[in-house]
Structure 1
Amino acid sequence: MAPIRLAIIGLSQSAKTSWASEGHLPYLLSERGRERYKIVALLNSSESAAKKAIEAYNLPSDVRPYGSPHDLAADPDVDLVVNTTRVDVHYDTIKPSIEAGKNAFVEWPLAENVSRATELSDSAKQSGSKTMIGLQARVAPSVLKLKQLLQAGIIGRVLSSDVQAFSLRTNRDSISEGLSYFLQKRVGGSPMTIAFGHMIDFIHSVLGEFASSNAHLQIQRPDQTIIDAETGATRPTVSDVPDLVSVHGTLRDSEYVAEGASLIVKFLTGAPFPGTSPYVWTITGEKGRLRVWNESGPFTQSEGSAFPTPIEVEDFTTGEVRQESWDWEDWQVPLSPRGRNIAKLYDLYYEGRTDELGVAGFSGAVVRHTQLDRMLY
């Protein structure tokens, strides 16, 4: 099979965040990635910015630079468009390609809100675009191992589950200038939609969705300080984004989830109490209990890949506690931790196996957007 011809939106040498270069390029420029994909175009804020990025990342000279989403959409030699921009730019930059029938891989969140996410999903259905959303923790080996253990009945049917998590990458009362939009709910990108959104998604990918739920949110520290990393200058602002969310609900029953099983999730920005793990997930069943944690927090989709994620099993009959092992595939190990799960999405897409492991498309993103919008708005 010939390599899939790919265009990237948002690979910039001057970006405030480095997700495109750290999350996507390691795989795409690896030997395995080059066999399966060929970068043929970049779209940035201008054609000159795209040219600079091509030079900065030593991409082939025949990669085409674009400054217009409509020009990219008209390129007949692009099979897949990958959007890695800030969330509030997703809609305008990817919609022309969707309407042109191109396949698309968009980072999470899909759009600023459920309304725009639904529009993109509907457009993809109408044009026949095959879509994928960057909820890559669904294919993390630790998450897939948990699903395997539950489906094997190792703890019996699930009776309840609880999660407590902290976002270590977010300070309690300050933020960098480049991420100041995290404090503006209207932008759609924040610790609630990104960190909590990724976490609640992979939890649901293991346990299934809520049958019913209630959420309580709080803005504990509305007064925030924005810090310019280059100059050290500071300025005050007021955040309208919650920094605490607590969700209580009843899971849908399934083959391995008992009727009436509860899921309780608590997420806060900032660090936990000293000496306390920033992420612990417990699943209690009829015959035993599973426990998962990670010292980097709940970032299974990215930073968590760099830290061990132990999975412990407690047998209620014997009282024995043992650890279940999991590992990365050999080809994933040399990649940067941020890129390993993203790489798995690319591999599954190339092999036509996204449905096999429950990779989310735009319609799946709308399900998660709907849940988050009900909480936040």
Structure 2
Amino acid sequence: MAPIRIAVIGLSQSAKTSWASEGHLPYLLSDRGRARYKIAALLNSSQEAAQRAVVAYELDSDVKAYGSPEELAADPEIDLVVCTTRVDVHYSTIEPSLKAGKNVFVEWPLAENVHRASELAELAQKSGSKTLVGLQARVAPASLKVKELIQSGAIGKVVSSDVQAYTSRGGGFSISEGLAYFLDKKVGGNPVTIAFGHMIDFIHSVLGEYETSHSHLQVQRPAQSVVHEDGHTTPARSDVPDLISLHGTLKQSANVSQGASLLVTFLTGSPMPGTSPFSWTITGETGRIRMSNERGPFVQSEGSAYPIPVQLEDFASGEFKEIPWSWESWQEPLPPRGRNIAKIYDLFAEGRAEELGVVDFEGAVVRHRQLDGMLYPEQTSS
């Protein structure tokens, strides 16, 4: 089968973040990736910027360079458009390709808010585009192992679950110029939508969604300083919550008891010494499971570079043991940031993305609706 021809939006020399080069390129340029995909085009802010990126990343000389989303959408030799830009330009860069019926893979968050995300999902449905969203912790081996344990009946039916999480980024009184948009929640990219969003998504992928829930959010540090590249600072204000308390009742299922609770506490910043930055406990009728991570809730990306223990306690015997899990052999040589993204690419190429629970645009709208209900309760309560 011929490789899937892809266009990457946002692979740039001058990008403030390096997710395209660190999360996507390692797989796409690996032997396994090249057998399944071919980078056929880049789209950046200008054709010249795209051409510079082709040279900088030593891509094939026949890779096309585009500076316009409309020109890219008109290219009949592109099978999959991959968007890795800042969230507030996702809509404008992929809309033409969706209208043209192209398949599209967008990094999370899908859009700035649930309204824009819903519009993109509707466009994809009308055009027949296959869609993927980078909520890749769902396919992380540690997450899948926890899900497997629950489905096997290792702890009986789930009766409750609790999460304590801290991010390793932010939580202070200053932020770099490149990430200053994290202070403005209307942009759509911030620790709540990104770090919390990734985390709560893989938790729901294991336990199911809430039946009912309530949240309390707080901005503890509204006064911030933006640190510019030359070292000087300017004052700024943040309206992005840095503390979340979320609790509710999970939907009953084959593996979840009626009335089972999910309690989540999420804080931006480091925990006190001796406290794990991520601890997730699932209590069942006959035992408990715990997943922890010394890098915080980032199971989807950099947390993959470190051990993520999955432990099982049996109430009857008192036995407490670590449950092994592993990367697939082809994932191990890849940089940790790219391993779970690589799995999404692999599943899509095999036609198994839906089977393994990879999120599409409609699934992303579900998560956006949850986050918007927390961030903008006055708009979603009616």
* Separation (CA, whole Å) in 2 of partners of 1:172 and 1:280: 22
Residue deviations 1:298-340, cap 9 Å, x none? Answer: 0001011001001111110111101100000000000001000
Q: Aligned partners of 2:210 and 2:122: how far apart in 1?
A: 24
Cα distance, 1:135 vs structure 2:
0.3
State the Cα distance separating 1:171 from its structure 2 match.
Answer: 3.7
SS at match of 2:258: strand
1:19 partner amino acid: W
SS at match of 1:289: strand
Q: Distance in 2 between matches of 1:169 and 1:338?
A: 16
Distance 1:308 1:169 in 2: 20
Per the alignment, residue 180 of structure 1 pairs with 180
Task: Report if aligned partners of 2:218, 2:243 keep a CA contact under 8 Å in 1.
Answer: yes
Say which SS state the counterpart of residue 61 (structure 2) adopts: coil
Once residues 102 and 315 of structure 2 are traced to their aligned partners in structure 1, the CA distance between those partners, rounded to angstroms, is 52
Q: Mapping of 1:249-264 within 5 angstroms?
A: 249-264=248-263
Aligned to 2:150: 150
Partner Cα separation in structure 2 for residue 236 and residue 160 of structure 1: 43
1:278 aligned partner, one-letter code: P
Matched, 1:246 2:245: yes
The equivalent of 2:75 in structure 1 is: 75
Amino acid at match of 2:100: A
Query: What residue in structure 2 maps to residue 227 of structure 1?
Result: 227
The residue type equivalent to 1:368 in the other structure is R
Map 1:1-377; keep pairs closer than 5 Å: 1-228=1-228, 230-377=229-376
One-letter identity of the residue aligned with 1:107: E
- Cα offset for 1:170? 1.9
2-side partners of 1:85 and 1:345: how far apart?
18
- Take 1:17 and 1:355, find their aligned partners in 2: how far apart are those partners? 29
C-alpha separation between the residues in 2 aligned to 1:274 and 1:232? 29
Matches of 2:352 and 2:70, distance apart in 1? 30
2:43/2:72 contact within 8 Å kept: yes
- State the AA in 2 paired with 1:37: Y
Equivalent-residue separation in structure 2 for 1:307 and 1:301 (angstroms): 12
CA contact (8 A) 2:171 2:242 kept: no
Post-superposition Cα deviations, 1:83-114, rounded to whole Å, max 9, x if no partner, equal 00000000000000000000000000000000
Aligned residues: 376
- Alpha-carbon distance between aligned partners in 2 of 1:288 and 1:28, rounded to the nearest angstrom: 41
The secondary structure found in structure 2 opposite 1:360 is coil
- Give the residue type in structure 1 aligned to 2:367: R
SS at structure 2 position matched to 1:247? strand
Taking structure 1 as the reference length, the TM-score comes to: 0.99
SS at match of 2:311: strand
Task: Tell me the CA shift for residue 173 of structure 1.
Answer: 1.4
Matched residue SS, 2:129 = coil
Give the root-mean-square deviation of aligned CA atoms.
0.5
- Return the letter of the residue paired with 1:342: I
Structure 1 stretches of 5 or more lacking a match?
Answer: none
Q: TM-score, normalised by structure 2?
A: 0.98
Equivalent position SS for 2:281: strand
Structure 2 gaps of 5+ residues are 377-382
Whole-Å separation in 1 of the counterparts to 2:354 and 2:107: 18
| Structure 1 CA distance for aligned equivalents of residues 270 and 259 of structure 2 | 32
Partners of 1:24 and 1:56 in 2: CA distance? 15
